[in-house]
Amino acid sequence: MTNSGRISQSAFDGSRLRVILLLDLYEGAQEQFLDAYELMRSQVASVPGHISDQLCQSIENPSQWLITSEWESAPPFLAWVNSEEHVETVRPMHSCVRDTRSMRYSILRETSPSRTQAPASAKAGMQVKARVGDGVARHALTFTVKPGSESKVAELLAGYKSPKAQVDDNTRLRRTSLFMHGNRVVRAVEVEGDLLAALRHVARQPEVRAVEEAINPYLEQDRDLSDPDSARVFFTRAALPSVHHVVSGRPEPDGLRRHALYYPAKEGRGMELARLLAHQDEAAAEDPNSPVYGSTVFQRDDIVVRLVDITGELDVDPVASLGLKGRDKAAELERLLDGAAIGIEGSLKSDRNINRLLSHADMLPITDRSSADS
């Protein structure tokens, strides 16, 4: 792929967020759903960053409902929606809902009588300009397997037959990259078109289901994919959302290689660490000499994974590969990173520890398949 311009998509631009949740209820479940919604509404109202929400019912089909909510910015919403508290809060809704679809949008323009004569400062929290994307949605899943089973799980995950790339007229699987770090598995997907449709398409494929069933005995968190509630909870907990993606505007160089780097954060510092890496990768995209051509940062709680497309080997420029170019960036990472969890003790000011961190953070590649490979 040759890019005609720089691509940048981020949850860290400070703009207000509009979340839209479409729901299709089972017939007769309306009152049960309303009770569950009232419980959820009272709990989410106290979540930092939450502004408001609305519950709407279709005037054309009474089984179709809509929940919209507004947030001060994307990070507090992502922290809430990926928390165990959220998993438990929405659990009473599961038996009421046949299908759901969640969409997240930053607010770019707004018309309001109270703002017609307002000064520019009143528009704080608005997205400054339209983002330039590439028509691709990115998402990842992460889960852990029982210690001692890593090699068997890697063998199973590497050996599956890829599903058809074409999902429908508008959706296509573009790339799947799978890595392991110790007993942690990370599977990142790129989809042209409808991400949810693609994920459901993949989940229905017999070859994929066979692999998922084969690794079930090795998972640290039990799941039963034949039970919708068990599957929903597992994949909710496994979700590792993309919070930042950037690709340089310069021509794509030959010999790009994809790596995944794992950055376990200190408790409560995951979002801050992801923001640091995002800002660093924005700077790298502007640097014609940077070996980092593109990156995607995924974050959930204190798990941060950075997928990088890089020219040459990682260890040619460890500082750039880790996203630490610039004054005091190593000290910032040291403040946020759980060094003990990744086997790094001591200051990141030394070249020795920088090289050790790169070696310890570099995840083991299992598969990296583009649609052309399929």
SS3 annotation, the chain? CCCCCCEEEECCCCCCEEEEEEEEECCCCHHHHHHHHHHHHHHHCCCCCEEEEEEEECCCCCCEEEEEEEECCHHHHHHHHCCHHHHHHHHHHCCCEEEEEEEEEECCCCCCHHHCCCCHHHHCCCCCCCCCCCCEEEEEEEEEECCCCHHHHHHHHHCCCCCCCECCCCCEEEEEEEEEECCEEEEEEEEECCHHHHHHHHHHCHHHHHHHHHHHHHECCCCCCCCHHHHHHHHHHHEEEEEEEEECCCCCCCCEEEEEEEEEECCCCHHHHHHHHHHHHHHHHHCCCCCEEEEEEEEECCEEEEEEEEECCHHHCHHHHHCCCCCCHHHHHHHHECHHHHCCCCCCCCHHHHHHHHHHHECEEEEEEECCCC
- Residue 142 near residue 121, CB atoms below 8 Å: no
Q: Is the pLDDT of residue 310 over 90?
A: yes
- Regarding whether 249 and 350 lie in a shared domain, the answer is yes
Reading the block at residue 351, the tokens are 């070249």
Find the range with the poorest average confidence among 105-114, 118-127, 142-151, 199-208: 118-127
User: What is the per-residue pLDDT for 119?
Assistant: 44
Assess if residue 116 is contained within a domain.
no
- Regarding whether 220 and 250 lie in a shared domain, the answer is no
Report the DSSP beta bridge partners of residue 15.
none
Assess if residue 372 is contained within a domain.
no
**Nearest residue to 333 via CA among 314, 311, 318:** 318
Report the DSSP beta bridge partners of residue 104.
19
- Note down the domain range covering 231: 136-241
- Regarding whether 83 and 25 lie in a shared domain, the answer is yes
- Regarding whether 89 and 36 lie in a shared domain, the answer is yes
More confident residue, 127 or 318: 318
For 218-265, what is each residue's pLDDT tens digit?
Answer: 999 888 877 877 877 888 889 999 999 999 988 988 889 999 999 999
Residue type, 328: D
Reading the block at residue 78, the tokens are 């992502």
- Regarding whether 234 and 250 lie in a shared domain, the answer is no
Spatial distance between the Cα atoms of 203 and 85, rounded to a whole number of angstroms: 26
Q: Is the pLDDT of residue 311 over 60?
A: yes
- Regarding whether 360 and 267 lie in a shared domain, the answer is yes
Assess if residue 374 is contained within a domain.
no
Structure-derived torsion over alpha carbons of residues 114, 117, 121, 127, reported in degrees to the nearest 10? 70
What's the structural domain count of the chain? 3
Assess if residue 112 is contained within a domain.
no
Give the contacts of 313 (CB within 8 A, at least 6 positions apart). 257
Percent of the chain residues past pLDDT 70, beyond the cut:
94
Percent of the chain residues past pLDDT 90, beyond the cut:
58
Cα separation values, 106 from 80, 204, 217, 241, Å: 17, 32, 41, 16
User: What is the per-residue pLDDT for 198?
Assistant: 83
Find the range with the poorest average confidence among 23-37, 73-87, 157-171: 157-171
**Nearest residue to 310 via CA among 284, 282, 277:** 284
Spatial distance between the Cα atoms of 277 and 279, rounded to a whole number of angstroms: 5
- Regarding whether 295 and 204 lie in a shared domain, the answer is no
User: What is the per-residue pLDDT for 35?
Assistant: 92
Reading the block at residue 188, the tokens are 């990142």
For 17-39, what is each residue's pLDDT tens digit?
Answer: 999 999 999 999 999 999 999 98
- Regarding whether 89 and 44 lie in a shared domain, the answer is yes
In the predicted model, what is the mean pLDDT of residues 40-57? 93
User: What is the per-residue pLDDT for 114?
Assistant: 58
Spatial distance between the Cα atoms of 332 and 272, rounded to a whole number of angstroms: 10
Last-in-domain residue among 241, 262, 284: 241
Find the range with the poorest average confidence among 64-68, 84-88, 328-332: 84-88
- Regarding whether 323 and 256 lie in a shared domain, the answer is yes
Find the range with the poorest average confidence among 191-195, 206-210, 227-231, 297-301: 227-231
CATH code for position 303? 3.30.70.100
Last-in-domain residue among 217, 241, 265: 241
Instruction: Band the pLDDT of 118: cuts 50, 70, 90.
Output: very low
- Regarding whether 193 and 291 lie in a shared domain, the answer is no
- Regarding whether 252 and 233 lie in a shared domain, the answer is no
Reading the block at residue 131, the tokens are 């983002």
User: What is the per-residue pLDDT for 123?
Assistant: 55
Last-in-domain residue among 194, 214, 241: 241
Assess if residue 123 is contained within a domain.
no
More confident residue, 127 or 42: 42
For 140-152, what is each residue's pLDDT tens digit?
Answer: 999 999 999 999 9
Assess if residue 4 is contained within a domain.
no
Q: Is the pLDDT of residue 120 over 70?
A: no
Cα 232 off chain centre by: 17
Q: Is the pLDDT of residue 4 over 70?
A: no
Spatial distance between the Cα atoms of 238 and 223, rounded to a whole number of angstroms: 11
User: What is the per-residue pLDDT for 113?
Assistant: 63
Reading the block at residue 45, the tokens are 């109202």
Spatial distance between the Cα atoms of 23 and 41, rounded to a whole number of angstroms: 16
Reading the block at residue 111, the tokens are 């018309």
Cα separation values, 33 from 30, 107, 196, 326, Å: 5, 29, 23, 52
- Regarding whether 258 and 211 lie in a shared domain, the answer is no
pTM of the model: 0.88
Assess if residue 131 is contained within a domain.
no
> Mean pLDDT of all residues in the chain?
88
In the predicted model, what is the mean pLDDT of residues 170-197? 91
Assess if residue 159 is contained within a domain.
yes
